[in-house]
Amino acid sequence: MSDLSSPVETSDFAFPLKGVRVLDLADGKGELCGRLLADLGADVIMIEPPQGMAARTQQPLVDGISLHFASHAANKRSVALDLNTAEGKDNFLKLVDGADILVETFRPGTLDRLGLGVSSLHQRNPRLVVLSMTDFGQSGPYRDFVASEAVINAMAGTLCRSGFPGTSRPPLLPPGRLAYETSAIQASWALLLSYWQSLHIGVGDHLDFSVFEGTAQILDPILGVTGSAAGGKSAMQMAEERGRPNAGMLYPIFRCKDGFVRMCILNPRQWQGMSDWLGPDHPFTDPAYGNLVKRFQVIGDIIKLIGDLCANYTKVELVTEGQRRGVPIAGLATPQEVLADEHFNARGAFTSLAVDGKTGKVPAGFLEIDGVRAGIRGPAPAIGQHTAEVLAQCPAAKTSATPYTTGSKRRPLEGIRVLDLGVIVAGAELGRILCDAGAEVIKVENKAFPDGGRQSGEKHRVSFSFAQGHRGKEGLGLNLRSPQGVELFKQLAAKSDLILSNFKPGTMESLGVGYDVISKINPGIIMAESSALGHTGPLSRSMGYGPLVRASSGLTGLWSYPELEGQFFDGLTIAPDHFAARVSAIGIIALLVRRRATGKGGTVHVSQAETILGALTTELLRESLFPGSLKPKGNHGEYDAPDGIFPCAGDDDWCAVSVRDNRDWRALCETIGREDLLADPDLQSAAGRLARRGELEQALGAWTSTRSPELVMETLQAAGVPAGKMFRLSEFDDNQHLRQRNFFRTIHQTGHDEIWPTENGPVVCHNMPDPDIRPAPMQGEHTRVVVKRVLDLADDRVETLIAEGILEESA
């Protein structure tokens, strides 16, 4: 069993979820939900059968020990119960009586068949929040489908945008288990939001969470806010009908003496720094090339010039010089470089974990609360290690004044006021999801420093993308570069609950509105900051964009076909912005829970790079134990075969198919009419199948290539084999599963005639209403309304402040 070395000192830390009890029945997916709650101080009790949960044998293994389990079960306790026996059910229900949250990942209908359905659990404990996390949800046409990482990525819209441009090669699966891991982050956000709601309405909820839908919202969202280079378009608007888009020019990668670097040259100031670096006599010194659109007209020639320059230097030399000149740049880190990285290690991003006598390094945790990392503190438990003590100390049953009811109209964050200084993607998303949950979100902007998300060329400066990230917010124009503006901000902060920002670390302090100042005015204030590389450490003040974060965290280097050395294909993904925003939101809700009990606010700090490390926890732990094991895998599953992407009849039509075990292998062979393979004794084990992977992939490909992807998916799913069509983004609007589960909503943005599609909330549930979808604000659109409502400023005072440029309003 694993044990922990060098635990983080947290003896004086006020864990925000201390006292919250969680029953964790996640097995094979969603284990990260419980880990995140445990990291924040909740008492997370795994309920597993006497022989142990299946996740204990989940690959990769070290001498029979699962590295996934060792890292994802850290900080938890284990109770062994046989839920098929009367005694096991009785003990389980005693634990339910005193629990706040229950997480389960059984197939739909399993709890009912055990006599432990959610309705019966709510009869015993009306306050219980139950999260049912399944591949496709508890309802809809795909309800009984089974999935794998490849299947989820194919169906959720990630695959169709990933890979070599055009159709000459298959699309490319993202590395690791990003779909399942980031969906668990989304599920954790929904779970804590529901728990917060239960504290106010007196009853819990049943959250029907779909990994398919979670991935479509959080990894590479089909409708979410996009980065600056997208020109205000959503992913759905940018997608190619056939083949993968050529994204290499968006955030170009250059070979250097010892590897590769990536640059994100977006605004005129950054281009001027690059132009000066290239010297005074290149053909593009005209300041007009500061315009991104004009520069893209000659981007091939410009990239050649920069490539010639980079070839003469090392990664460190280029990054150092780029920082000096104001050119956003990062080296493409290898996994070993990530593990040894001075900045990450200075920040305590990794901790030691001993697995069967071998000591490895593992990402320590996703976020910091009050400057302390909320992360791994204790080892994964042995089977049933805590059964006796937990059953002997069953807490009193949770009481409720009313029986379980559904249909609450209260929005979870009603009464919470947010001052939102967040920009671009991660900042926009955090404020947006809080707004969706009912918070009063005031977007604070200054005309001299507009949100880069507004730079789209769309009329009224509200593009499709900007509307997705700022819907429902109010726009306040305020000049924080003036003393009067700072004073007004302090007055607003005194009457607010949350302040959000994702500027370069130190910016809020330099403006005079850091936590040390604001908390003296309002001790209950919660301030959440995110940045590319974190608020401490030698590189904390580096310029950060998502593509640079992916490069420095090692994700870019892994997002590649193994046979194409030096080519990388993460240019279109928006990761990690959307799931990093959810990590911040998780910390915020945890602090709201603590504040409700103590009145004390606090801080949430998130390093976007470290959220990627967290999503690659298992892979990085393995790499630390076995250097060289973490490398591009392409479309080949590592632990059984066949498992990957297969051609179907049609033009650029593909289907993901995964064999997970011998049962899947038998069903696959019988379905495709290859009983000869089933009878082959060398193919009766995963090891035997992997040894002949090429042959098996060819055999399956011959069958899939004569059938449509829909037919392949439906035929194999009917046999219980994970299979999923590669859906194009243009197909999502008509997807009946998503339609039946109310995945889509619409938004009518002021200044635009058309009605735009937008996404709904994060989960299907009973007691959290759907978001109130309202337009995104123009800059300063609600200035007068906000200062009148919040500060009760007289009209003549408002007029004076506007005339002096302290307050701003839309034209």
Catalytic residue numbers?
577
Beta-carbon contacts of residue 529 (< 8 Å; ≥ 6 apart):
500, 501, 502, 503, 505, 508, 535, 603, 604, 605, 606
Quote the CA–CA distance of 557 and 131 in Å, as a whole number: 35
Query: How many other CB atoms are found less than 10 A from the CB of residue 433?
Result: 27
| 700 membership: H or E segment, kind and range | helix 693-704
Amino acid in position 746: T
Query: Would you state the structure tokens that stand for residue 135, as one six-digit string?
Result: 């591949």
Beta-carbon contacts of residue 112 (< 8 Å; ≥ 6 apart):
none
Amino acid in position 716: L
**Burial class of residue 462 in the structure, from the number of CB atoms within 10 Å of its CB (0-12 exposed, 13-18 middle, 19+ buried):** buried
Query: Would you state the structure tokens that stand for residue 425, as one six-digit string?
Result: 């993607």
Quote the CA–CA distance of 689 and 710 in Å, as a whole number: 26
Quote the CA–CA distance of 315 and 310 in Å, as a whole number: 9
**Burial class of residue 632 in the structure, from the number of CB atoms within 10 Å of its CB (0-12 exposed, 13-18 middle, 19+ buried):** middle
Nearest 10 degrees: Cα torsion 320, 325, 326, 330: -30
Beta-carbon contacts of residue 601 (< 8 Å; ≥ 6 apart):
519, 522, 523, 524, 525, 526, 527, 591, 595
354 DSSP β-pair partners: 3, 359
Q: How many residues belong to the chain?
A: 811
Query: How many other CB atoms are found less than 10 A from the CB of residue 294?
Result: 12
Strand duo 65-66 + 61-62: pairing: antiparallel
Quote the CA–CA distance of 99 and 46 in Å, as a whole number: 12
Secondary structure of residue 52 in the 3-state scheme: coil
Quote the CA–CA distance of 571 and 504 in Å, as a whole number: 23
Quote the CA–CA distance of 562 and 513 in Å, as a whole number: 48
| 441 membership: H or E segment, kind and range | strand 440-445
Query: Would you state the structure tokens that stand for residue 47, as one six-digit string?
Result: 């309920």
Query: How many other CB atoms are found less than 10 A from the CB of residue 706?
Result: 11
